[in-house]
Structure 1
Amino acid sequence: MSDPLPFFTIGDGPPLVVLMFTPDAANPTGLARWSATRMVRPFARHFTVHVVNRPAGLPANITMTRLAQVYADGLATMFDHPVPVLAISTGASIALQLAADHDNLVERMVLGGTAHTLGPIGKHAQRNYIERATAGRRPSPALATVVTASTVGQRLISGLLWLSDGRKDRTDAVAVLNAEDGFDLCDRLSDVTAPTLIIQGERDRVYPIEFARRTAEGIPGARLVVYSGISHSGTFTDKRFARDALAFLVDDAVI
């Protein structure tokens, strides 16, 4: 039997599953918990929001297909019917694989900041993260290149990320990012049958906008909303994100 998925819940109403990447295979705590709760709070007015994470101890060579199976097994024990899914970034890559492989579990989904595969900059940054973590170095500075194209900005952000990156075991994070490194659902996008909305920042450096457009075109009936001038992380903090996602998930949603 698969290990249960760690999750925390807020709100009241029908279920909404939220998938996002966290460095730790556990419920977030401290600032990470505050940040996750702040992002999903608008949805908690309409749903019982289940912020679901991966179990600890993933195999180092796990694939995205196998990772989606882990989530599928866990969600099947939590719910006896398809549920809507809200997923961002790497969590949305998992959601895409989940929807393609296990369409009986996903009722509809909103994907923020994602595509059928990583772009070159995102792939390079994640590989750098993996190399640093494997070598026992603080890995998060590797992600500075996906935040800004400015060399000066990258140096500043890299330093801030280094300061905020505690010396923790990143084995599970590396396993997930390795799985995403090999992830490319381009040839299987038509297998995603759940109604899908993709929300993407025009200046997303992790999953380029042209990749997001290709993804939306490949999923039958999918819609794409583009935020002009917005970066990858800026997509999820934009005030329009909850409004647009809820308009898709709930007919009479009022923010």
Structure 2
Amino acid sequence: MLNGLPYLSAGAGPALIVLLHTPQAASPTGLARWSTMRLVRPFTKHFTVYVVTRPPGLPPATTMADLAAVHAQAIAATFEGPVKMLAISTGGAIALQLAADHPDLVDRLVLAGTAGTLGPIGRRAQRAYIKRARQGRRPSPALAEIVTESPIGRRLLKGLLWLSDGGHQDYTDAITVLNAEDGFDLRGRLHDIKAATLLIQGDKDVVYPLELARQTVEGIPDARLLVYPGRSHDRTFTDRRFAPDALAFLTGR
């Protein structure tokens, strides 16, 4: 535990905090662990990477500010001075809130697939996910529309996502975080972020559309936007340019 937060760590060098979205409030296991480590492996050559997850059992009314405060407390208690941070999707929303509320804790910030608030398609898909989970149904098929625009692709993907959920999982913590993200809107406070910031965004991202990403970068005093043409939400993070671009910024090259 990192001051009460589940985490994975790997690599050597200065700390790099990584915030992702995980359905469970626990360190990823199995295929999720493999894909997480594949994502962060290039960064372990330069940093000690800490993939930090939220604690289990958060109150249902938890807000993004509450989540940011929990992470900020762990960072302040564990590390000396401000840290570098890599944050993706929902993790990016937490990082934005943290950097605005606790500017002394973040030195450099790389974001991907995120913005100061959700887009309408992302919000609709996440609300459908929450509704299915509360009904006791496997929720992930609700996310098919944010992965592909193809009607045939969506039908096929819904089946795969249904299988990926497995059975009898507890989605209480996931619902709490997605509700917090649904209410997240930092657009009026972006100027409070003091960290040098890079936002990497695919121009086909429908969860956090490019226009919202542009508004986010325009609101942060020291921020840059890097756009990957033709890339959707998920394909932004798996693009071969992603790790080199993020590393160049984090290391100041």
- Per the normalisation by structure 2, the TM-score is 0.97
Q: Does 1:190 align with 2:219?
A: no
1:18 and 1:87 in contact (8 A); partners too? yes
1:12 is aligned to 12
Structure 2's unaligned 5+ residue stretches are: none
Task: Extract structure 1 runs of 4+ deviating beyond 4 A.
Answer: none
1:172 is aligned to 173
Please list the CA deviations of residues 133-176 of structure 1 after superposition, one character each: whole Å capped at 9, or x if unmatched: 11111010010010112211111111110011122101001000
- Partners of 1:103 and 1:45 lie apart in 2 by 27
2:3 and 2:78 in contact (8 A); partners too? no
Q: Residue type matched to 2:24 in 1?
A: D
Structure 1's unaligned 5+ residue stretches are: none
Q: Residue type matched to 2:201 in 1?
A: Q
The DSSP-based 3-state class of the residue aligned with 1:117 is coil
Q: CA RMSD in A?
A: 1.1
Change beyond 3 A, Cα 1:251–1:65: closer
1:238 is aligned to 239
The DSSP-based 3-state class of the residue aligned with 1:239 is coil
The DSSP-based 3-state class of the residue aligned with 1:118 is coil
Report the Cα offset of residue 69 of structure 1: 0.7
Report the Cα offset of residue 191 of structure 1: 0.5
Q: Does 1:212 align with 2:208?
A: no
1:79 is aligned to 79
Q: Residue type matched to 2:37 in 1?
A: T
- Partners of 1:179 and 1:218 lie apart in 2 by 22
1:146 and 1:206 in contact (8 A); partners too? yes
Residue pairs, 1:69-148, within 5 angstroms: 69-148=69-148
Q: Residue type matched to 1:120 in 2?
A: P
- Partners of 1:33 and 1:11 lie apart in 2 by 15
- Partners of 1:199 and 1:120 lie apart in 2 by 20
- Partners of 1:77 and 1:54 lie apart in 2 by 16
1:67 is aligned to 67
Please list the CA deviations of residues 149-207 of structure 1 after superposition, one character each: whole Å capped at 9, or x if unmatched: 22111111111100111221010010000000000000001011100000000100100
- Partners of 1:244 and 1:173 lie apart in 2 by 30
Report the Cα offset of residue 80 of structure 1: 2.2
- Worse-superposed segment, 212-221 or 2-11: 2-11
1:119 and 1:206 in contact (8 A); partners too? yes
Q: Residue type matched to 1:114 in 2?
A: T
- Partners of 2:77 and 2:3 lie apart in 1 by 11
- Per the normalisation by structure 1, the TM-score is 0.97
Report the Cα offset of residue 3 of structure 1: 6.4
- Partners of 1:250 and 1:80 lie apart in 2 by 18
2:3 and 2:77 in contact (8 A); partners too? no
- Partners of 1:30 and 1:184 lie apart in 2 by 33
- Partners of 2:72 and 2:128 lie apart in 1 by 29
Q: Does 1:181 align with 2:186?
A: no
